A = this chain, B = another copy of it.
Amino acid sequence: MSRIFRAAAAQMGPTQRADSREHTLSRMIGLLEQAAAQGAKLVVFPELAFTTFFPRWILDGDELDGHFERSMPNASVAALFDRARALRVGFYVGYAELTADGRRFNSSILVDCDGQIISKYRKVHLPGSVEPRPGAKYQQLEKRYFGYGDLGFPAVRTDDAWGGAIMGMMICNDRRWPESWRVLGLQGVELVCVGYNSAAYDPNGGSTENASLRTFHSTLVAQANAYMNATWAIAVAKAGDEDGSGLIGGSCIVDPNGRIVAQATTLADEIIVADIDLDLCRQGKDKMFNFAAHRRPDQYKVITERAGVVEPVAVD
């Protein structure tokens, strides 16, 4: 079995609220076909890839539910699954999940080259708030619309088409939290897929962040966490102007040394590819980041004992 395979990041340009599902799906199938034509066996789509980033609005009822998938696959996404299976290409895709018992998650799935869903993930690190921020033009209401992910960060060992890679998933904000990466790293992850929708302005209502700084942050965390866990990473944006709200691009493929080997240059639909040599993870995993030899969990207790900050008292 070759331990090298080609993977693609399928960055998507903006999806407007008025865009039809057919239109969005045809764009995704076009990206899939471009990637397959370049030899990719894995295509990574963004977070909430089938819709606009709807948590920026206050929605309810049918208007809200229309953004959610009640099963996966389903009739409105089947064409993507069918085309991928015909091309013998697998994919990662993010979507809004509505369960039979009415729970909602910001989810992603990993679909192998046979069209089988081999792993599912529900976003753990939901940013934003439950209640709208007074006076803000755009909201960040993920905490209103989604429950916290309850599946952990599962890693899965894949088959020959992807070199037998141990793969894991994250969604958007998860990538800024080293815990997400470490939980996958502790499962020996060799390739992390992460889709995102990240505002090009300060998403918290502040004024100190712009698109350049926010793209730098996005790239920086992918690079460093890939290095610190000796894994490949593919981070993929939905980018550009969605109904007047800007999203950063900067989709990238990062090697286990934290180096960017491919990066998108537009804010539009764009395919980038790289050859993923899984054995490049070996040196880091066996030496510098040999966790069994060097980690000291007894010194980390506070990481799992509490969520928030407790500041030290003043020295007298």
Q: Which residues of A contact B (CB under 8 A)?
A: 118, 124-127, 148-149, 152-159, 164, 166, 173, 176-179, 181-183, 185-188, 203-204, 206, 208-209, 213, 216-217, 220-221, 223-225, 227-228, 257-259, 283, 285, 287-289, 291-297, 299-315
Report chain B residues within 8 Å CB of A159.
Answer: 315
Residues of B near A157 (CB, < 8 A) are: 311-315
A218 to chain B, nearest CB (A): 11
Report whether A295 and B283 are in contact in the complex, using a CB–CB cutoff of 8 Å: no
Q: Which residues of B lie under 8 Å from residue A292 when comparing CB positions?
A: 307-309
A7 CB to closest chain B CB (Å) equals: 18
Selected from B155, B188, B312, the residue in CB contact (under 8 A) with A166 is: B312
Complex interface: chain B residues within 8 A of A158 (CB): 315
Contacts A155-B312, A297-B307 known; 14 new A-B pairs at CB < 8 A: A125-B295, A177-B228, A178-B178, A179-B299, A186-B302, A186-B308, A187-B310, A208-B283, A216-B258, A224-B225, A285-B309, A293-B308, A295-B308, A297-B305
With A185-B309, A288-B176 known as contacts, the answer to whether A299 contacts B225 (CB < 8 A) is no
Residues in B with CB closer than 8 Å to A152 are 299
Chain copies in the assembly? Answer: 2
Docked Cα-Cα span, A291 to B166, in Å, equals 29
User: Min CB distance, A287 to chain B, in Å?
Assistant: 4
In the bound complex, how far is the Cα of B148 from the Cα of A77, in angstroms?
Answer: 54
**Which residue, A148, A183, A209, A299, has most C-beta atoms of chain B within 10 A?**
A299
The 7 A-B residue pairs whose C-beta atoms are closest, nearest first, are A292-B308, A224-B224, A178-B178, A204-B287, A188-B311, A295-B307, A188-B309
Q: Which residues of B contact A309 (CB under 8 A)?
A: 185-188, 285, 291-292
Complex Cα distance A285/B206, Å? Answer: 13
Q: Which residues of B contact A216 (CB under 8 A)?
A: 257-259
Q: Chain B residues near A288 (CB, 8 Å)?
A: 127, 176, 203-204
| Contact A306 B297, beta carbon cutoff 8 Å | yes
Can you give 21 A-B contacts (C-beta < 8 A)?
Answer: A124-B299, A148-B296, A153-B299, A154-B312, A157-B313, A176-B288, A178-B182, A178-B225, A179-B182, A179-B303, A183-B303, A185-B309, A186-B306, A217-B257, A224-B224, A285-B309, A291-B308, A292-B309, A295-B307, A297-B306, A300-B303
